[in-house]
Structure 1
Amino acid sequence: MKAKWFLLPMAALTVAAAVYGGYIRTTLTDYTEEGNWEEYQVAPMPEAAGMEKVRTMRECLPSAPYILRVEVLGDLELTNGTGQQKVKVAQVYAGEDLEVGQEFYLYSYAWWVSLSENYKSLERAYVNVLEVGREYLVFVNGEIDTLNSSIPVYRCMEGVMLPDGGWMDFMSPVFCYDNIENVPVEYTGKWESGVTYTQGRDNEFFGATDKLIEAWEQLKAEMLQRYPR
């Protein structure tokens, strides 16, 4: 399958840019200062859909405009609920305009926090918050215009247009160079669409079954072998 990557439409980019300007940034710590993670839910990736995403990501990720090894410098920052993290380029495998040592914000429209009276939701496209001080292999779509950011903002590769015209969202294409143990996060029935964050707080990936976790970890191993540090 020959896949083609697309940026968000201009209207969506304008909205994304507006989000960055005129708001006070907070961090995830501000939302969880009491440490009550039981109040937060995350969505586990189901096995069937996840296996298909793994197959497509294996084929398409090497075509990403930017492929980078980055060091995470800061915790998840939330601007009007949408998330980004400050990183520093450690190695460039593909892409221009970014150099080793350059700092930028890694952003995804799929990283956000939702707060309501009934529950609190941490949306991560099935991958945990990047850990400060660790290095990650990241697949990036390109820079987005922002109204008020001291450093550039680059958006994760979030999906692919399929040959039939449909769109497939990816699991966040970020892979830690360190080994992080993953355990299945199982739906408990407390919420309609998620599980408590504490079930997978130490995970790198939120998968619902051992089979899917094994497939995702194999994808990670292949990508890290292809782009070693």
Structure 2
Amino acid sequence: MGTLALDTQNASSDIYISLGLKALGKGVVGVPPVLSLLSTLLERSIQRNETLLEAKHIQDAVTVFHGLRAPGLSIRKYIDRIFKYSACSPSCFVVAYIYVDRLLQRSEVKLTSLSVHRLLITSIMVAAKFMDDAFFNNAYYAKVGGVSTGELNRLEMNFLFSIDFRLQVSVDTFRKYCWQLEKEAAETLQVERPIQACRIKESWSNKDDSTCASTIAR
């Protein structure tokens, strides 16, 4: 079982706290921000990948992680569901993202709406087993993820071989991915500010707000 101590004696501590990976006072209240940031980052990656595949008329390679159709549950709701019922530590979601990135670099799997849900449930389960002192078995995670136990077993085995069982994550690597999520938070805030400004403007006046809309769509 692996451990990844979050260093509280350096500048990274602020990032860990802002992502909800480290508690202030009595603990993290509610859903840690890392979940929404991860879902946003994944959604953007999927949009880029699918746009590229469509533009180049490339057929996505079907792998064990691909479903016949995209699940009705959004990435954000799916991640929230896993967090709610698995009770794994927030750090597991960062480690799971690192695992997924390793798999994408070493295999023909592409992150799309057909593969992301199976990659998420598998990587988060593997991260929880490696990171946390207590975790549920595959049958429980299968119910949470909406797949059969047999399928999740196959996904886990394929996932582990695809990353060559490289489960150890150094503190430097963990910090690097946390910085990436922090950057995602800053970019998201830049987008949300003009949107919020538009909503305020609408409450002031019923006039055409096309100038505001053109500012958002850059």
More strand by share: 1
Give TM-score scaled by structure 2 length. 0.25
Give TM-score scaled by structure 1 length. 0.24
